Amino acid sequence: MTQEELKTPFTPNWCPGCGNLNIWAAFKNAAVQEGWDNTNTALVAGIGCHGHILNFVKLTSFEGLHGRALPVASGIKMANNRLNVFAHVGDGDCLGEGGNHFVHSARRNHDITVLLHDNTLYALTTGQTSPATERGMKTKSTPAGNPDDPVYPLAWAIASGATFVARAYSGHMDKLMNLIIEANNHKGFALIDILQPCVTFNKVCTHAMYQQNTYYLGDDYDPTNKKEAFMKAYEFGEKKIPLGIFYREEKPTLEEGYVQIAEKPLIDNEPKLEGLTDLFKKYT
């Protein structure tokens, strides 16, 4: 598809400067470069500002309930494992309401790509703390400062069994595009934690803050070293927010483990209705 063909009748309504605009652009660039279209790709989103992305990309899309994008995405992959399946999720959405699904989707190594639009708060509801909010940060729901410690999504993903774990900054669109492509090419559960400034409600995690404090993991970093990756996933602070691929591992995907879909996707199988015919008759 071309950029023109990916357009929908809707104009993005994110706030000017919102990191979601960069993610949207990087994702569309990746789709054009890789030939993702309605025959080979499906998108899922949860609830939050990030979820609007489904309205602005003309690809087959499904909106999950709050926090439930990953069960929908893994179900789509199980039904048709030929598809590229992307789940756009938010930090509140995925790490809060959807925390359970996050852990178990990673553990099972579903072959899906999770794009975490991480603005470190609930933005759609006007700026309350999320599980990703730093301790001490003042938000609408914690005006005296957040009394909780945040979760570290990369550490959580590695500990849960994810096999591709990375972080990107939304302002570096070319690097983000390449990372999205690499994550999709990875066989297994891939997470990209995308630092996505919310310019309206988050005055701490700003574009300027990320531009001043992020750095890329170098060639001397070994992303196959799980212990080092786990330690690196906790590094977050002044002048030391790492970007790039933290961890990768080759491991059979959940879909490869099912003999029923090893040869061909479930949707290509003829439905066996003989046993159901009598049952249907009873109710018609």
Closer by beta carbon to ligand SF4, 56 or else 201: 201
Between the CA of residue 44 and those of 76, 130, 233, what are the distances in Å?
9, 21, 26
Binding to ligand SF4 by residue 204, rule CB under 6 A? no
Closer by beta carbon to ligand SF4, 60 or else 200: 200
Q: Which stretch binds ligand SF4 (CB under 6 A): 93-101, 150-158, 179-187, 193-201?
A: 193-201
Reported as half-sphere exposure (CB side, CA atoms, 13 A), residue 239 has a value of 0
Q: Which stretch binds ligand SF4 (CB under 6 A): 78-86, 99-107, 196-204, 272-280?
A: 196-204
Binding to ligand SF4 by residue 14, rule CB under 6 A? yes
Q: 104-134: b or e for each residue (b if 16 or more CB lie within 10 Å)?
A: ebbebbbbbbbbbbbbbbbbbeebbbbbbbb
Binding to ligand SF4 by residue 123, rule CB under 6 A? yes
Residues 107, 160: Cα–Cα separation, whole Å: 5
Binding to ligand SF4 by residue 18, rule CB under 6 A? yes
Binding to ligand SF4 by residue 119, rule CB under 6 A? yes
Binding to ligand SF4 by residue 181, rule CB under 6 A? no
Binding to ligand SF4 by residue 137, rule CB under 6 A? no
φ, ψ of residue 49 in degrees (nearest 5): -55, -35
Binding to ligand SF4 by residue 15, rule CB under 6 A? yes
DSSP 235-278: --STT-EEEEEEEE-----TGGG-HHHHSS-GGGSPP--HHHHH
Judged by CB under 6 A, the number of residues near ligand SF4 is: 11
DSSP code for 54: G
User: 199, 204, 209, 217: which one contacts ligand SF4 (CB under 6 A)?
Assistant: 199
Bridge partners of residue 62, in order along the sequence: 44
Name the token pair of 124.
């759609």
User: 20, 22, 61, 109: which one contacts ligand SF4 (CB under 6 A)?
Assistant: 20
Three-state SS for 138?
coil
CB of 50 to ligand SF4, least distance (A): 8
Closer by beta carbon to ligand SF4, 61 or else 119: 119
φ, ψ of residue 248 in degrees (nearest 5): -145, 145
CB of 170 to ligand SF4, least distance (A): 10
Q: Residue 230 contacts by C-beta under 8 Å, 6 or more apart in sequence?
A: 155, 158, 159, 247
Reported as half-sphere exposure (CB side, CA atoms, 13 A), residue 249 has a value of 20
Closer by beta carbon to ligand SF4, 60 or else 125: 125
Closer by beta carbon to ligand SF4, 134 or else 255: 134
Instruction: Catalog residues that contact ligand SF4 under the rule CB under 6 A.
Output: 14-15, 18, 20, 49, 119, 123, 198-201
